[in-house]
Structure 1
Amino acid sequence: MTTAALGRLVGYSSQQVRDLERLGVIPTAVRGANGYRLYEQRHIIALGTYRALAAAIGPVPARQLLPTLLASTLDEAAEMIDELHAAIARDRARVREARRGVDTVLTEAADAFDEHDAMTIGELAQALDVRPSALRHWEHEGLVSPDRITGSQARRYDARAITEARMVAALRSGGSPIPPIARILSQLRETGLTMEARALLDERLADLSRRSIALLEAASHLHALLVAREPSRPPVIR
């Protein structure tokens, strides 16, 4: 079929089809005597796989993965597909840990603080298992506000700054971007409310569940793609 016919069949424009072919997402089309591209069933399968995979992991990762999948052995392809599921599982575990971390921070924030428990940037970075550069970046973004030791530029993290840093660390580990974290910290400073912090992580968990189900749907397309690529060797997807 022609480029336009293939595009109509899968819901893409002719230019999108040509771009995906150029990127290696679909196999290179043969050319007819007139120089026009001629697409086959395997191209329909490849485009269907891309659409399903993009819904599960995002368009950019899907465009990066499919050319590698098409060029890999069956064992390598199976391992890459396994890793997609494993990555979602790891993300879910991080978000759940972040959810627990947020609750812990909020519970302990009301505890009495001994000024002798104030931390340096190195001590706090070690306690949070982050780099000192991360703490400096969070300070630059207005997320954490340490004091400065009199007579020097050394940072001193008191109870408020430690709580802020722990909250940022928990939310960042759950995959939350900086702008909503800044909004949540502003809310905490003003009212002490925490619903948005919890809701942010709950939304992240819901999105991971959606991606997991979408990846299950994409598995049937991936199976068809691998069969079309090597019909004499039916693949076993672990």
Structure 2
Amino acid sequence: MPDESALRTVDVARESAYSVQQVRDLERLGVIPAAVRSGNGYRAYAPVHVQALRAYRGLAGAVGPVAARQLMADLWTRTVTEAAASINAVHVGLAREGDEVLRAQQALWAIESEAAHHGAVETEAAHHSAAEGADTMTITELAAALGVRTSTLRFWEREGLVTPERVTSLRARRYDAPAIGAARIVAALRGSGYGIPAVRDIIDSLHSLQEGGGPERVRHILVERLDRIGARSVELLRAGADLAAVLDSLTPARDPAPAPA
């Protein structure tokens, strides 16, 4: 006797808002489990196939279609606990991306704060070097102005964060106004808890972005990125009920409950 609850390919397509060909393609890719074949060779799907396709749509909006296809294909081979952990990892990843953007915003604010004080730094540099007629600072003067060791400035130089001018005869370091400004930015970021790789990435990104529009452009890009992360998070939440249905469909015997005490 035929299963009256079985769905045809066209039924699944209609309920999931995919085309018949897309349903077949996503089945072939493992996004949904293989349909049962009836005696006449036609595919017979279950409601969970529709729910899996809806879940895939939300995941694709959250992490992209390639990662979503891989995740969905993996879910069918995992225990309930493992599958739930995979989905939780997506939530964690989006939260981490959001945190990174917020930290970048904080870094931009720190940099702009340092820029507001840049005139005072230049005045300080001029005061220290007035006798030489140059708007520069020695490594000792700059270290004192920043409240760091001279060895710290040398380390930042080795890491490519601050590039001083040099007096070629003695190889003595002298810092011009741009180098002084860069040193103050590095000091601000380090003081805010940023590691050297993060400081380097931020400075490189800001230099690149500032060439294309300055701090306002950087701020706009960061806001746009936060908006995209928010939209992706909404897509993931929208997929939640369908993902739960997929987990419920996994064979309970593959994830046994602990025996009562």
Query: TM-score category by the smaller chain?
Result: 0.5 to 0.7
Code of the aligned partner of 1:187: G
TM-score (structure 2 length as normaliser): 0.62
Deviation at residue 21 of structure 1 after TM alignment: 0.8
Say which SS state the counterpart of residue 71 (structure 1) adopts: coil
Q: Distance in 2 between matches of 1:67 and 1:166?
A: 34
Contact preservation (8 Å) 2:51, 2:245: yes
Deviation at residue 94 of structure 1 after TM alignment: 1.0
- Alignment correspondent of 1:34: 40
TM-score (structure 1 length as normaliser): 0.67
Q: Distance in 2 between matches of 1:235 and 1:227?
A: 13
1:9-24 pair list within 5 angstroms: 9-24=15-30
Deviation sequence 1:144-168 (CA, Å, 0-9, x none): xx89988xxxxx9962777799887
Question: Given the alignment of the two structures, is residue 100 of structure 1 paired with residue 90 of structure 2, yes or no?
Answer: no
Code of the aligned partner of 2:108: V
Q: Distance in 2 between matches of 1:171 and 1:69?
A: 40
Q: 2:213 aligns with which of 181, 187, 194?
A: 187
Q: Distance in 1 between matches of 2:158 and 2:250?
A: 55
1:70-219 pair list within 5 angstroms: 70-109=76-115, 110=118, 111-112=121-122, 114=137, 116=139, 123-125=158-160, 159=179, 169-170=201-202, 182-188=208-214, 194-219=215-240
Deviation at residue 228 of structure 1 after TM alignment: 2.5
Q: Distance in 2 between matches of 1:80 and 1:166?
A: 27
Contact preservation (8 Å) 1:171, 1:201: no
- Alignment correspondent of 1:222: 243
Deviation at residue 121 of structure 1 after TM alignment: 8.4
Q: Distance in 2 between matches of 1:208 and 1:181?
A: 24
Give percent identity, aligned residues only: 36
Distance 1:36 1:85, change over 3 A: same
Q: How many residue pairs end up in the alignment?
A: 202
Contact preservation (8 Å) 2:26, 2:32: yes
Deviation sequence 1:28-81 (CA, Å, 0-9, x none): 112233333222212111111111222222222211101111211111112112
Deviation at residue 213 of structure 1 after TM alignment: 2.8
- Alignment correspondent of 1:138: none
Contact preservation (8 Å) 2:80, 2:250: no
Contact preservation (8 Å) 1:3, 1:17: yes
Q: Distance in 2 between matches of 1:235 and 1:122?
A: 57
Deviation sequence 1:77-102 (CA, Å, 0-9, x none): 12112211211221111111111112
Q: Distance in 1 between matches of 2:157 and 2:31?
A: 46
Bigger CA radius of gyration: 2
Q: Distance in 1 between matches of 2:246 and 2:110?
A: 46
Q: Distance in 2 between matches of 1:210 and 1:235?
A: 36
Q: Distance in 2 between matches of 1:25 and 1:49?
A: 10
Deviation at residue 197 of structure 1 after TM alignment: 0.7
